[in-house]
Amino acid sequence: MTGTLTAEPLTAADRCDRCGAQAYVRVTLPVGSELLFCAHHGREYAPKLRELDARILDESERLDEPQPNPASAALPD
Ligand SMILES: [Zn+2]
């Protein structure tokens, strides 16, 4: 296990599988399937996904970057 993951960075075209907001968390399940979550749902599902031994790549720190279209601000919580 090297711990090195060379995944493409998430882009504005990547959308949360749950709510359709811009995705900031990429989850790879042990079976190889991939899920994308926004920062909100990434945090919500992270404990459960870790139980499944999923690999979680959290890019939510990029939320600090200026966003051309901050759709996440309009989401009901
Ligand atoms: Zn979401």
According to the model, what pLDDT value does residue 8 have? 76
Number of structural domains the chain divides into: 1
Is 67 inside a domain boundary? no
44 located within any domain = yes
Prediction pTM value: 0.69
Output the CA 21–ligand 1 centroid distance in Å: 6
Q: Do the domain assignments include residue 8?
A: no
Domain assignment present for 35: yes
C-alpha–C-alpha distance, residues 42 and 6, integer Å: 20
- Please give the pLDDT value at position 69: 58
Radius of gyration over every alpha carbon of the chain, rounded to an integer in angstroms? 13
Residue 18 lies in a domain: yes
pLDDT of residue 62: 72
C-alpha 53 – ligand 1 centre gap (Å):
21
Could you tell me if 28 and 14 are in contact, meaning their C-beta atoms sit under 8 angstroms apart? no
Using DSSP, state whether 39 is helix, strand or coil. helix
* Residue with tokens 């759709």, as numbered in its chain: 71
- Domain range for 35 is 14-60
Distance 58 CA to ligand 1 centre (A): 13
User: Per the domain annotation, does 75 fall within a domain?
Assistant: no
Write out the chain's pLDDT in tens, 77 residues: 555 556 678 999 999 999 999 999 999 999 999 999 999 999 999 999 999 999 999 988 876 666 555 555 555 56
How far is the centre of ligand 1, averaged over its atoms, from the C-alpha of 36 (Å)?
Answer: 8
Indicate whether 26 belongs to any domain. Answer: yes
